[in-house]
Amino acid sequence: METPASLGYRLAAEWEPQEAVWLSWPHRLATWPGHFEPIPEVFADVARRIAATGQPVKIVAAGPPLAEARQMLGDVDGVALVELPTNDSWLRDSGPVFLSPQPGREALPAAAVAFGYNAWGGKYPPWDDDAALGGRIAASLGMRVFSGPLVLEGGAIDTDGAGTLLANRLCVVDERRNLGRSADEIAAQLGDSLAIERVIWTVGDLAGDDTDGHIDQLARFVAPGRVLAARQPDPLDPNHGSLAENLAILTAARDATGKPLEVVPVDLPRRFCRHGVQLPASSLNFLVINAAVLVPVFGDPADEPALRTIEGCFPGRSIEPVDCRDLVWGRGAVHCITRDQPRWPPG
C-alpha cells in the first residue's frame, strides 16, 4: 500500500523555509467564556506581525466572522481571506499537516495529511466543519490530500525534521481518540504518514490544559537533537511533578540517529490564574516563521529568561513577544492558533 513516506514525503521541522501561515478567525464565544471581546484583536495582531515580516498569512472564515476579519485586516498587505466554514479557532489542531519532500524527491506534487479530528476526544461539539477543514484547506491549494489513519491534533506532535517526533501518550495513545491502538501501532502509523523513524513519548499535562497534554506546551525541538523542555521549579505548583518526569524522559531519550538529546529547561510562570482558575501558560507555545519567532508572554518574571533562551536558539530571527494573557483563557496560545505551511519546493 502506498503511504506518504513510501512515496517520498516527510514532516518538516518548523524552522525550515515556509510559504505561509494559516489562522482560523475566532467566533465561538464559549471558547473564551466571558472574555471573548479582546480575542479578535489578538488574532489580528498575530496576523499583522507575521505579514509585516513579508510572510503571507491566510485566514479561514465564513459568514459574519469572515466579514469581521475583512473589516479588521482586509487592507493589510500579505493577508488573504479564504472562505471556509469552521467551528472553532485552533487551526494547529484542525488544520492540515503539510508535508515536505524527502531529499531528492522535490519533483513530487505538494501534499498534506488530513488526520481525524474530534475536538480533543469529543469534548466540544459540534466539530464537523473543523473535522473537514484540513482536507478543505489542502484541496484549496491544489494539493494531494492523504487521509490520516489516526485522530491526531497538530499540537500533539513536534519534529526535528529528521525522523524524530515528540508526542505525549495522554493525547495520542488515548481511547477517546484512537480506540484500541497501542503506542507501537500508532508509532508505525506515524512512520507511514510522516516518515517518522522514532517517537519519543512524554507524559503529563499542564493544569488547566483541556488538550490532555499537547506537546507544544511541554517540549519543542529547536534543532536536530536539541529540545527545549518546560520546567516548574515551584514544588507547590501542580505542574512541578509531571514536568520533572518529562525532563527525565527527555534526558534519557535518543533521537532517530541514536544520539542523546540536548535538553534545555525553560521555566514556566508559577500558577498563572484568572478568577482562581489555573491556566496552561507556556512560553514553549511559540511559533517559528521565516524571519521571526512569536513567543507567548504572560506578564510574569519567567517571561524574560524564556525569551532569552528562545532567542539563543534561533540566531538571525527576531524575537516577537506576544501578550497571551487573554488568549490563554481559551487554554492555548500562539502556536495553537496558527498552522505553518512549508515552502514547496523547499529551496
| Structure letter (DSSP) for residue 36 | -
Q: Which domains does the chain have, with CATH numbers?
A: 4-342 (3.75.10.10)
Q: How do residues 9-60 score in pLDDT, each as one tens digit?
A: 999 999 999 999 999 999 999 999 999 999 999 999 999 999 999 999 999 9
In angstroms, what CA-CA distances link 99 with 8, 233, 286? 10, 37, 20
Tell me, what's the pLDDT at 80?
98
Q: Given 171, 313, 324, 336, which residue is catalytic?
A: 336
**How many other β-carbons are positioned within 10 Å of the β-carbon of residue 271?**
16
Q: How do residues 252-289 score in pLDDT, each as one tens digit?
A: 999 999 999 999 999 999 889 988 899 999 999 999 99
Closest by CA position to 4, among listed 143, 176, 195, 180: 195
Instruction: Give the three-class secondary structure for 235.
Output: coil
Exposed (0-12), middle (13-18) or buried (19+): which is 54, by Cβ within 10 Å? exposed
Residues listed for the chain = 347
Can you tell me the distance from the alpha carbon of 59 to that of 277, in angstroms, rounded to the nearest whole number?
31
Q: Report the first-to-last Cα separation within the chain, whole angstroms.
A: 30
Instruction: Give the three-class secondary structure for 61.
Output: strand
Q: How do residues 48-82 score in pLDDT, each as one tens digit?
A: 999 999 999 999 999 999 999 999 999 999 999 99
In angstroms, what CA-CA distances link 201 with 26, 46, 139, 178, 269? 31, 31, 32, 16, 24
Known active-site residue 313: no
